Amino acid sequence: MIITKQDIPNFLDSLKNNYQVFAPVKQDNYTMFKAITSGSDAILDYSNSKIPPKGILFPQTEELFSYKVDKQGAHLEEKIDSEQKVIFGIRPCDAKSIALLDNVFNNDKYEDPYYLTRRENTVLVGIGCNQPQSTCFCTSVEGGPFDTTNLDLLLVDIGDKYVVEVLTDKGKKVLTSAACSDASEADKQAAAKTKESATVVSKVNLDGLKQKLDSNFYDEIWDSISEKCIGCAACTYSCPTCHCFDIVDEAKDCDGCRVRNWDSCMFPEFTIHGSGHNPRPSGKERFRNRVMHKFKYFIDVNNATACVGCGRCIQNCPVNLDIREVLADIQGSEARSVS
Amino acid sequence: MSGIENAVQDAAKKLLAENKVDVVIGFAQGSQPLRSTPAFIRKPEEAEKLTWNCTCENNLANYLRKKEQKIGVVVKGCDSRSILALMKENQINRDNLYIIGVPCSGMIDRKQVADLCEGKEIIAAECTDDALVLKGHDFEKTVNIVDVLHRSCAACTHKNPVIYDEMVAEAVTEQKEDFADIEAFEAKSTAERRAYLSQELSKCIRCYACRNACPMCYCEQCFVDCSTPEWVGKSASDIQDNMLFQAVRVFHGAGRCTDCGACERACPMGIDLRILTRKLVKDAKELFDAEAGVKMEDKPALSTFESDDPQPFLVKE
Amino acid sequence: MLKSLLEYMGVDEGRVNFSWVSASEGGRFAELVGEVTEKVKQLGPNEGLIDKKAGCCGCQE
């Protein structure tokens, strides 16, 4: 199928009748995924958003339920968001990250109704990356600029139009409101050519990394690679796969709500025990945990690396602590292919 | 610029070779265009990794608190002020520190450069003495460094380090303090100021990069992290709480903030934080003629009391 | 400086008040509290630092 770029605003507007539509929009000099009020708000020439769209399914702040206590007793009202949503323009790396989040929120021990209801009701419309950024390394972590994992539709930009690949029934349904035409043989060839010419320059070597991490918990290397980290959460909050949260009650008198907020392993209070003991007392242990969680623990539990190579942590780090260099240092090789 | 770079490398090499310090903290080439990164150099032969150019933006005083080792550190004017302020607060032992001072002509603001390139990716950049040559996939651009200086650098009044053991270059000319930006904001109506600040703080994601990048923020337990009691709500979607967080953070720096701009640079969301921090820099100057981290003998503005201290805050009777 | 910062950030002028009162000045204390109460009453309820009405965790009610 083919949809022209000119028709995208109309397509999004028509989707708005049945869905809450999220799309990349400009905020200052960067891009964010936001619920749009008009199809023309969406921008199409963006590299990727500052903060990943994971927050649409797993909000940074989410009210789980509200409560009220009066003479009759306690009253609870659960807040489950079951609105139909479309995320338009999600990049393949971010779509893949949602597959990783699925492992966390839907497994044999626990099913999270808040996340799963949203997940069930959300259609992912991806746009492939014709020009990956210099910080992208998706191909090193089993992804790619046109990877279709988890997507319902994939759009391939061939100039003034997109070739649409329909991947699921959910995607097919969404497409019914679009002014589509059939893709010609030339269009298909153009799409194939585009896919071929998109190159991800930056590479990370994961061969044997897991084995190294299995045994280097007490290695001195953690002292040196964590040395410049200042311990903020710019990396974890801009990471599409980070999923740690903290639950608090926010109360005013007898009313209140229970809220789930993103939390970060980089914060000192993340692991503090009731006794006051903190098993990760300094930045070194916290930094080690972040690397271990992504490249060892998550593999132990879910058999997948918890990194999709989007490069946001590299771009957002205030001190330019680059995960590619960290992994290369762990691998013990000087070889870096940072472009 | 390369003259300074060589001088910094030579100084570091000498310090390490003579065993005067255990480590030299300076800047090395970063992994991306327009980035340098804090570097910890422990061997004389590694000193050549050190670099000096208009991207050495981090405040290295942040790495010096409560350290046992002997440290050599490469500092700009602002870093040196933070060091002096931290010495006064007994956070840094001067005896363990060797300060390599660099007169600084200002560091660039990556956000302004990104604006000039309309957000397009910069794949290569070259810094000369006064210009940046930027290359993208489909453009090439030369930008004057003075046009893209970070605002804290453009307003800087202490480009030359205020404390050092050796200075690696000739001092640069200083400029006068100018609070025109803060005066303009003060002149706005309450509603306008509220609207602007709530718009800015609505972008906050509570990553606390501003706090962690600040050399003066070193409480063992920060009030925002504290959960018993919970001084401020943890939800990033609550703009009011974001404002409260900033109000307390900023006020904690009253009379201590050196306006180095580290908080604003660290903010991934590009929030205008100096509109708040500089207000207190201005007030400290106007009310107490105090400037943080300039003279060792100056008493801390808010930790001293004089019977003739101005009291404009009192209820008029 | 606190009063100055808070008013700069958008807290209504006159809502933050400071004074020195000695423990022995009972009458003066009562008078001041009376004045401040009157002043704050005139300002009306505190709308906070932002104009939007927000719920407990920032949820829009």
10 Å Cβ neighbour count for A251? 14
| Chain A residues touching residue C55 (CB < 8 angstroms) | 63, 257
Domain of residue A29: give its range. 2-197
Residues A114-131, mean pLDDT to the nearest whole number: 97
Question: What does the pLDDT look like over A191-244, one tens digit per residue?
Answer: 999 999 999 999 999 999 999 999 999 999 999 999 999 999 999 999 999 999
> What digits encode the pLDDT tens for the residues A55-67?
999 999 999 999 9
Q: Do A228 and B30 touch (CB under 8 A)?
A: no
A170/A271 same-domain check:
no
Contact A308, A240 (CB under 8 A): yes
Check whether residue A316 and residue A191 sit in a common domain.
no
d(CA B66, CA B168): 26
The three-class DSSP label of residue B71 is: strand
Taking only the tens place, the pLDDT of each residue in A280-314 is 999 999 999 999 999 999 999 999 999 999 999 99
Residue A295's pLDDT is: 97
Same domain, A143 and A261: no
pLDDT of residue B299: 86
Q: How close is the nearest chain A Cα to the Cα of C49, in Å?
A: 18
* Residue showing tokens 């191909």: A139
Same domain, residue pair A213 and A160: no
Q: How far is C23 from chain B (nearest CA, A)?
A: 17
Mutual angle of helices B274-288 and B239-252, in 10-degree steps? 40
Query: CATH number of the domain at B1-106+158-175, out of 3.90.228, 3.20.20, 1.20.1300, 3.40.50?
Result: 3.40.50
What integer is the mean pLDDT of A143-165?
96
Q: Residue by residue, what is the 3-state secondary structure of A63-88?
A: EEEEEEEECCEEEEEECCCCCCEEEE
| Residues A54 and A189 reside in one and the same domain | yes
Could you give the ipTM of this predicted complex?
0.94
List chains touching B (3+ CB pairs under 8 A).
Answer: A, C
pLDDT at C57: 54
The structural domain count of chain A equals 2
| Residue A119 contacts residue A102 (beta carbons within 8 Å) | yes
Is the minimum CB–CB distance between B228 and chain A shorter than 8 Å?
no
Residue that finishes a domain, picked among A143, A167, A197? A197
Side chain identity at residue A24, one-letter code = P
Strand, helix or coil for residue B93? coil
Residue A337 lies in a domain: no
Measured between CB atoms, does B234 come within 8 Å of chain A?
yes
Chain A residues lying within 8 Å of B208, measured CB to CB: 232-233, 267
For chain B, list residues with pLDDT below 70. Answer: 1
What is this structure's pTM?
0.92
Confidence of residue A337 (pLDDT cuts 50, 70, 90): very low
Q: Are strands A153-157 and A122-127 parallel, antiparallel or unpaired?
A: parallel
d(CA A315, CA A321): 9
Same domain, yes or no: A180 and A141? yes
SS3 state of residue A338: coil
Q: What is the CA radius of gyration of chain A?
A: 22
Burial A300-318 (b: 16+ CB within 10 A, else e): eeeeebbbbbbbbbbbbbb
Give domain limits for chain B: 1-106+158-175, 177-300
pLDDT of B182 reads: 96
DSSP A33-48: EEE-SSGGG--SS-S-
Candidate from B30, B213, B268 with C-beta closest to A50: B268
A175 and A104 belong to one structural domain: yes
Residues A193 and A220 in one domain: no
- Token reading at B293: 């981290």
Q: Which B residues in the span 109-128 are in contact with A, Cβ-Cβ below 8 Å?
A: 111, 114-115, 119, 121, 123
Domain's final residue, options A197, A229, A248: A197
Together in a domain, A161 and A273: no
Asked whether residue A161 is domain-assigned, the answer is yes
Task: Verify cis geometry, omega within 30 degrees of 0, for the bond prior to B229.
Answer: yes
β-strand partners of B166: B100
pLDDT score at C52: 55
Nearest CA-CA distance, residue B238 and chain C, Å: 4
Sign of CA dihedral B212, A237, A127, A293: positive
- Tell me whether residues B185 and C8 touch, CB distance under 8 A: yes
Residue A334: pLDDT band (50, 70, 90) is: very low
From C8's Cα to the closest Cα of chain B, the distance in A is: 7
Number of helices (H), then strands (E), belonging to chain A: the values are 13, 11
Q: How far apart are CA A270 and CA A293, in angstroms?
A: 14
pLDDT digits (tens, 9 = 90+) for B74-88: 999 999 999 999 999
Give the pLDDT of residue A338.
44
Which of A156, A173, A197 terminates a domain? The answer is A197
pLDDT of A336 above 50: no
* Order of strands, sheet of B71-75, starting from the edge strand that comes earlier in the sequence: B36-41, B23-29, B71-75, B97-101, B166-167
- Residue B202 is given by DSSP the state T
pLDDT bucket at A149, cuts 50 / 70 / 90: very high
Give the residue ranges of chain C where pLDDT is below 70. 50-61
Which residue type, as a one-letter code, is found at position B280? L
Does the pLDDT of residue A83 top 90, yes or no? yes
What span, in angstroms and rounded, lies between the C-alpha atoms of A5 and A133? 22
Same domain, A75 and A166: yes
From C58, which residue of chain A is nearest by alpha-carbon distance?
A: A61
Tracing tokens 């930045």 back to the chain, one arrives at: A283
Examine residue A13 and state whether it is found in any structural domain, yes or no. Answer: yes
Same domain membership, residue A270 and residue A126: no
Question: What would the mean pLDDT of A238-262 be, rounded to a whole number?
Answer: 92
Q: Which residue has the higher pLDDT, B303 or A333?
A: B303
Q: Are residues A185 and A261 in the same domain?
A: no
Q: How wide is the angle at C-alpha A103 spanned by C-alphas A102 and A105, nearest 5°? A: 65
The two structure tokens encoding residue A321 = 């602590």
Mutate to test the interface with B, among A230, A270, A316 (most CBs of B within 10 A): A230
A284: left (phi over 0), alpha (psi -120 to 50) or beta: alpha
